[in-house]
Structure 1
């Protein structure tokens, strides 16, 4: 099969389309003919060498999410058949024509949904649900601040928060505000020209928000904590701005009874990932079938143009998911 490989770590040009052996099907595996693969920031980190030559359980090849048709199954698979349209999170291997993954990580593609749109669901929506609902415990009528709201996970979180019935504050570049507003954001904040802490203070009367979903890290930590209402929850999903030099106002944490949590998908065990997938599917999969939720796709690239897809993500211009079409 054809797949994206890299002989060395570095810039996007190291990604090359080559011929590699087909994956071997293990007892619990679905083998899927990939029709769509989402590009994630973890892929950029892998390309740059952050994980070394790690094997993440399914493949040492790049790529964490897929959508396609089942072409083969292991002896222990239950509830699926050859030809089924499925989507899911994989432990590597989606930048390829074929990928294998445990059937307990698979979700059926909603009837009538475009297969490429389905490929834009698994990683970002499962992550957003875990951060916002499972850990953040967002409730109807509460207020939430979502940073990087035009990105893959951010745009998914805005939709989920709106569907929950929360008031959504979102940070994004001004050029992306209208698109984020259409996803369900109530108050848009330009992270380049506005201080989100000042906006929240004015909008909430210094009462703060109940949940903050953050992807930036150290540069935002102190302001995130000070933006939380009594009993508020900060869920750290990424460290795009780095981890060093963060200032934590412990007095605020103590006297406002705050909680700070972290979550990351890649390092979770298979059992935890399966539970995360089930929680998301049970809560939200029906919302895609009837159009209440919709994956946001920024752009689509043939598999051979994986380097261009990475450059698009590195540019920071995307709104929603960047997709590869094997």
Structure 2
């Protein structure tokens, strides 16, 4: 089968399309012919050597989410048959024509969706649900501040917050704010020219928001805490702006009853990952039906052979929503969606 590999860590041009053996099915696996695969920032880190030479459990190949057709069902797998359309999160191996997935990490593709849009759901919407609703405990009437709201997880979080009935503050580049409003944001903030702390204070009567969902990291920590209402929760999902040591005024945490919660799917035990997928599936999967309130946001698609260009697109930060690799040679060009 064809797959993307690289011989040395580095820039996007190290990626190569080569022939590799197809994965062997295990008892709990579905073997899937991949039609589309999502590109995630974790793939960029993988390529640059941040994880060394990883085996995330399914494959040493790159890629964490797929949509495709079941070719074979392991003897311990349940609920799926050959020919079923599935999407889900894999532990590596998505950048290939065939991948294996633990059946508990798979979900049926809603009938109204094609494989490209299905591949834009699993990683980002499961992560967004976990951060926003399971850990952040957002409820009807709450207010939430979502950073990087035009990205994959950010755009999913905006939609889930809106569907839950929360008031949504969202930061993004000025060129992307109109699209973020379309996804459900009540107040949009140009992170380059506007101070989100001031806008949150102004629009909430200085109360602050109940939850902050942050992907930026250290540069935003103090301002995120300043934006929280008493009893508020900061859920840290990423560190796009850098990690390392940060300073926190402990009295703010204690006397305002704040919580700071970190979450990364990749490093969790497999049973936790199963539970994350199940929680998302039970609450939201039916909401992707035709005419329903949720939509997978696709920025652009690239054929598998052009994975280098897909990575460059993500590194440019020009995308709104997901970048998708297709296994057919006629994938749409960047900007087609």
Structure 1 length normalisation: TM-score? 0.99
Inter-partner Cα distance in structure 1 for 2:244 and 2:97: 39
1:33 matched to 2:63? The reply is no
Distance 2:307 2:34 in 1: 15
**C-alpha distance in structure 2 between counterparts of 1:245 and 1:123, whole Å:** 28
SS of residue matched to 2:199? helix
Whether 1:116 and 2:116 are equivalent positions in the alignment is yes
1:21 alignment partner in structure 2: 21
Residues 179-230 of structure 1 deviation map (CA, whole Å, 9 limit, x = unaligned)? 0000000000000001111111111121000000000000000010111001
2:67 matches 1:55 = no
1:282-326 deviations in Å (ceiling 9; x for gaps):
000010014210000000000000010000000010000000002
Q: Map of 1:70-149 to 2, 5 A cutoff?
A: 70-149=70-149
193-202 or 123-132: bigger deviation: 193-202
Could you tell me how far apart the structure 2 residues matched to 1:289 and 1:106 are?
Answer: 17
Say if 1:197 and 1:227, in contact at 8 Å, map to a contact too: yes
Q: Counterparts of 1:51 and 1:5 in 2: how far apart (Å)?
A: 15
What CA deviation, in whole Å up to 9, does each residue of 1:56-95 have, x standing for no partner?
0000000000000001111111111000000000000000
Residues in 2 aligned to 1:31 and 1:226: alpha-carbon distance in whole angstroms = 48
Give the corresponding residue for 1:243: 243
Shift of 1:247: 2.5
In the alignment, does 2:314 pair up with 1:313? Answer: yes
Q: Shift of the alpha carbon at 1:127?
A: 0.1
Give the superposition deviation at 1:54.
1.1
Partner of 1:262: 262
Q: Distance in 1 between matches of 2:281 and 2:236?
A: 22
| 1:7-32 deviation digits (Å, cap 9, x = unpaired) | 00000000000000000011111000
| TM-score normalised per structure 2 | 0.96
Q: For residue 318 of structure 1, give the secondary structure of its aligned residue in structure 2.
A: coil
Cα shift at 1:246: 2.2
Q: For residue 245 of structure 1, report the CA deviation from its aligned partner.
A: 4.5
How many residue pairs get aligned? The number is: 326
**Structure 1 position 249, deviation (Å):** 2.2
Higher mean C-alpha deviation, range 250-259 or range 83-92: 250-259
Higher alpha-carbon deviation: 118-127 or 281-290? 281-290
Following the alignment from structure 1 to structure 2, what is the Cα–Cα distance between the partners of residues 158 and 249? 29
Note the residue ranges of structure 2 that are not aligned, 5 or more in a row: 328-337
CA distance in 2, matches of 1:79, 1:20: 29
Instruction: Give the equivalent residue in structure 2 for 1:325.
Output: 326
Q: Distance in 1 between matches of 2:39 and 2:94?
A: 9
Q: CA deviation at 1:114?
A: 1.1
Stretches of 4+ aligned residues off by more than 3 angstroms: none
1:187 is aligned to: 187
SS of the aligned residue for 1:3 comes to strand
List alignment gaps of at least 5 residues for structure 1.
none
Distance 2:48 2:28 in 1: 31
Q: Secondary structure at the match of 1:81?
A: coil
The Cα shift of 1:115 comes to 1.4
Corresponding residue of 1:175 = 175
Distance 2:78 2:161 in 1: 33
1:244 CA displacement:
2.5
1:158 equivalenced with 2:158 (yes/no): yes
Calculate the aligned-residue CA RMSD, in Å.
0.7
SS in 2 for 1:170: strand
Q: Kindly indicate whether residue 68 of structure 2 is the aligned counterpart of residue 68 of structure 1.
A: yes
Counterpart of 2:335 in structure 1 is none
